[in-house]
Structures are given as structure tokens and as C-alpha cells.
């Protein structure tokens, strides 16, 4: 199931176009490319999931196969502006060489004379990977001098790191302004295409599912989606702030007291706009925050004191899965319960299954990164939905309708 056309230029709201790497003549040129190689690693620094590397391969191949040299730059973890071997991209360079079957030259830093020499003498077919950008505090400060140093490492700028596009850093924003030719990588374009068409011209009914622990980070996205969706289905820890706003007792469930008023406002706005802002009708509650806790299923008018809500209940699952089954477009962000504990993963799994089923029947289904991406991968359903975004924070900000600095920088 796909709506992605990699060769199409992508128009933003202002009518300008974002150029695809495929439309840039790269032969003999160095393409300074921001990628997101912020991969998870275990204690021995072994990469535990290389999805982020493999997702960038189409862009890298597009450059190398046409005679260009990719000069890749990324961050890894939070080294706090200092060199720290724990956060070196060296293991990524090795994995990249395995995945591409090409020679990867790993630079000892991301700026400086030695790096400049390495870039200057590199040959077509080789790939350069710079050391972690965040070994320099100037990366996150969007520092003009640092940007200038990076600028010297390429002839063309390309951004394929959707996951960091919501940050105005040197490598995502400042450096782009110094290039005449800027473009988007194929992963970036794919993300913008899927999320953009879901928001701009959704097949209806358009259903959003929002969960996760807290309402605080998602107020703006709920407000914005209220103006676009036919239904918004609430789950996860944030449902208890809504239930409290509706005057219900929620036992010891997670709640944000200072967000109760805003939850009331959101419920009122939904009523005014005629949007179905659905709050669960039942929940699985537990006597402690543990997989082995005692549990019971209760309707939301009867949550016992000293018990906490850990998952949505069966009636809610039925209600939500039937809305998903009839949707034209579904966007999901945030688990329905504490899915990391098997006894409280049922609601999240049911939503994931319903999305897979809806996809089979022709709906556009999008998972917005972060914990929901982890959940859908845990259930083995990542390839059964239309699109799983690689950017948690970035996809949320995109759904809020914000302009992402990393995307704005590509509008020339």
C-alpha cells in the first residue's frame, strides 16, 4: 500500500518546493548529508536495532550510484558537547560498511583540518561518515562559526534526518543557509509525503489515536487534530486526566492535576466542533505498578480507590477497533496502556492489529514514531501498516501544524 512517489517534488504550504536528492546532479560532488544514526546500543556498544541506518540507504545509494560522495553527519546520544568514546559513531561506520558493501571512511571528528583532508581526497564509491556532531556544543547552539566549518565539507546540502528536523541545530538548520543547493533525502521526503497527505487531504473518516503517559506534551497536537479529524481516541495514562476532568474518581492512576482544566476545554471544544473526542469507558486496573499485580476490569465510573489504571478495557477496545476498521485514515501516537508489561499490553496490541486490518482493507495508517513505533515493532506489525515514522517528537510537531526548522531550511 503506498502513496509515496520519490521523484515528486514536495510542495509546502507556502507554495515553494522541496527538491529531492534524485533531482540534484551529484556527479563528482561531495554531498553533505544530515542523517539520523542515533541508534540504540547495548552496554558493549553493540547496535541493537539498525533500522535508522537501513532507512537512510536509499539516499546514500542515490548519491553513490550517480558518482557523488556522501559526507554523512549525525548525532548519537547526548555527549553534552564533549568528546566521549561511549558515543562514538565508530560502530555505526562498521555497520554501514556491512549494509552498503562499500568502503566507509570514518572521520576522527566532524570539523577540522584532518577531516577536510579526508573529504578532499575521497573518491567516488567511497562513503564518509563524520564523528558525532554533538561532541561539539556548537552543534545544538546553531553556532555560525561551527556551521561555516561544516559548510566546507560539501558542495551540496542534503537533509535525510526527519527525526531531528524539529530542532534548529547547526547541522539541520544553520549550515543549510550557507549552501546554494539544498535538498531532501528520500526518507525525509517519504515522511513529509505520508504525514503531509494525511493532514492535508485525508481519506475520511480521519481517526487519530493518542495515548502515552502524559497529556502535557500532547495538548497542542490534540487541539490541532480537533480541527482536522472526525474522531480522536484517547488512551494510555493521559486518559485519567480526561476522566478526572469529567468528574470521575480515578484511584491512584497517573494524573496531571494542572492539566485538568485544559482537558475540560478540549472536551468542550470537541463538542462545539462536533468532533468525537472519545475517552475510554472501561479500564484494566491493578493494585500496584507491576506485571504481577492483582487486576480487575472496571467501568470508568467504578475505579476503586488505591487501584491504578494500566490499560484500556474490553468495551473500549471494541469501540476503538470498530472506529479504526471504518476509518479512511488513521494516525496513531502513544500506547494505550503500560504495554511494556505483557498483562497490560492488550489494548495497545488490539489497536495495532486493528490498524493492520484497516491497512489490508485500503485505509492509510500511520504510526507516529516513539513508543508506538516500538510497540508495533514488538507485535511484529511494522510492515503491516502504511507508514511508521522514524521521528517521535518531529512527527508530533508536524501533526501540531508547526513548521519544522529542518524542513524550512530546505525551502529555497
Paired residues of 72 in beta bridges? 33, 129
Q: Which long-range contacts (CB under 8 A, 24 or more apart) does 323-326 make?
A: 323/205, 323/207, 323/231, 323/233, 323/276, 323/278, 324/207, 324/209, 324/233, 324/351, 324/354, 324/355, 324/357, 324/358, 325/354, 325/357, 325/358, 325/361, 326/205
Binding-site member from 126, 213, 377, 403 for ligand AMP (CB under 6 A): 213
Q: Does 248 bind ligand AMP (CB under 6 A)?
A: no
Paired residues of 299 in beta bridges? 282
Task: Find the angle CA(157)-CA(163)-CA(166) to the nearest 5 degrees.
Answer: 80
Which residue of the chain is nearest ligand AMP when measured via CB? Answer: 212
Residue 218 catalytic?
Answer: no
Residue list 35-94, contact with ligand AMP (CB under 6 A): none
Residue 226 Cβ vs ligand AMP, minimum distance, rounded to whole Å: 19
Instruction: Please tell me which residue in 83, 393, 402, 412 is annotated as part of the active site.
Output: 393
Classify residue 179 by burial, with Cβ atoms within 10 Å: 0-12, 13-18, 19+: middle
Residue 317 Cβ vs ligand AMP, minimum distance, rounded to whole Å: 14
Listed ranges 24-32, 207-215, 272-280, 360-368: which one lies at the site for ligand AMP (CB under 6 A): 207-215
Q: Does 212 bind ligand AMP (CB under 6 A)?
A: yes
Residue 214 catalytic?
Answer: yes
- How many C-beta neighbours within 10 Å does residue 113 have? 8
Q: Does 237 bind ligand AMP (CB under 6 A)?
A: yes
Binding-site member from 68, 251, 337, 406 for ligand AMP (CB under 6 A): 337
Q: What are the CA-CA distances from residue 127 to residues 70, 71, 318 (Å)?
A: 5, 7, 50
Show the binding pattern over residues 294-333: x = contacts ligand AMP (CB under 6 A), - = does not.
---------------xx-----------------------
Residue list 371-410, contact with ligand AMP (CB under 6 A): 371
Could you tell me if 294 and 287 are in contact, meaning their C-beta atoms sit under 8 angstroms apart? yes
Q: Does 285 bind ligand AMP (CB under 6 A)?
A: no
The three grid cell numbers given for residue 398, joined into one nine-digit string:
508536524
Q: Does 138 bind ligand AMP (CB under 6 A)?
A: no
Q: Contact positions toward ligand AMP, by CB under 6 A?
A: 212-214, 236-237, 254, 309-310, 334-335, 337-338, 340, 370-371
By annotation, the residues acting in catalysis are 52, 214, 370, 393
Amino acid at each position: 500500500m503506498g502513496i509515496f512517489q520519490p521523484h515528486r517534488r514536495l510542495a509546502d504550504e507556502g507554495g515553494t518546493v522541496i527538491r529531492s536528492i534524485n533531482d540534484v546532479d551529484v556527479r563528482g560532488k561531495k554531498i553533505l548529508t544530515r542523517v539520523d544514526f542515533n541508534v540504540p546500543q547495548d552496554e558493549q556498544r553493540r547496535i541493537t536495532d539498525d533500522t535508522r541506518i537501513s532507512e537512510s540507504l536509499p539516499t546514500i545509494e542515490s548519491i553513490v550510484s550517480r558518482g557523488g560522495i556522501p559526507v554523512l553527519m549525525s548525532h548519537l546520544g547526548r555527549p553534552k558537547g564533549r568528546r566521549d568514546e561511549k558515543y562514538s559513531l565508530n560502530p555505526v561506520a562498521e555497520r554501514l560498511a556491512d549494509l552498503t558493501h562499500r568502503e566507509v571512511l570514518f572521520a576522527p571528528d566532524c570539523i577540522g583540518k584532518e577531516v577536510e583532508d579526508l573529504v578532499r581526497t575521497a573518491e567516488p564509491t567511497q562513503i564518509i561518515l563524520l564523528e558525532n556532531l554533538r561532541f561539539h556544543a556548537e552543534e545544538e547552539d546553531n553556532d555560525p562559526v561551527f556551521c561555516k566549518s561544516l559548510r566546507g565539507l560539501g558542495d551540496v546540502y542534503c537533509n535525510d534526518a526527519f527525526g531531528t528536523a524539529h530542532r534548529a541545530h547547526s547541522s539541520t538548520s544553520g549550515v543549510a543557509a550557507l549552501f546554494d543547493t539544498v535538498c531532501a533525502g528520500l526518507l525525509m521526503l517519504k515522511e513529509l509525503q505520508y504525514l503531509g497527505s494525511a493532514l492535508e487531504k485525508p481519506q475520511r473518516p480521519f481517526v487519530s489515536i493518542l495515548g502515552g503517559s502524559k497529556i502535557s506534551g500532547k495538548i497542542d497536537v490534540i487541539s490541532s487534530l480537533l480541527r482536522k479529524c472526525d474522531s480522536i481516541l484517547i488512551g494510555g495514562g493521559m486518559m485519567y486526566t480526561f476522566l478526572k476532568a469529567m468528574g470521575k474518581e480515578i484511584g491512584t492512576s497517573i494524573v496531571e492535576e494542572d492539566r485538568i482544566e485544559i482537558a475540560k476545554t478540549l472536551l468542550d471544544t470537541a463538542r462545539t466542533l462536533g468532533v468525537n473526542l472519545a475517552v475510554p469507558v472501561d479500564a484494566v486496573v491493578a493494585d500496584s505498578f507491576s506485571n504481577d499485580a492483582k487486576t480487575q476490569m472496571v467501568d470508568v465510573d467504578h475505579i476503586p480507590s488505591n487501584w491504578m489504571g494500566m490499560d484500556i478495557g474490553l468495551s473500549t477496545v471494541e469501540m476503538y477497533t470498530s472506529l479504526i476498521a471504518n476509518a479512511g485514515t488513521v494516525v496513531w501516537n502513544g500506547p494505550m496502556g503500560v504495554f511494556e508489561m505483557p498483562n497490560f499490553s492488550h489494548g495497545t496490541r488490539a489497536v495495532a492489529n486493528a490498524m493492520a486490518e484497516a491497512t489490508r482493507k485500503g485505509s492509510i495508517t500511520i504510526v507516529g514514531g516513539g513508543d508506538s513505533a516500538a510497540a508495533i515493532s514488538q507485535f511484529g506489525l511494522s510492515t503491516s501498516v502504511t507508514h511508521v515514522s522514524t521521528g517521535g517528537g518531529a512527527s508530533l510537531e508536524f501533526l501540531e501544524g508547526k513548521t519544522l526548522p529542518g524542513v524550512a531550511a530546505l525551502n529555497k
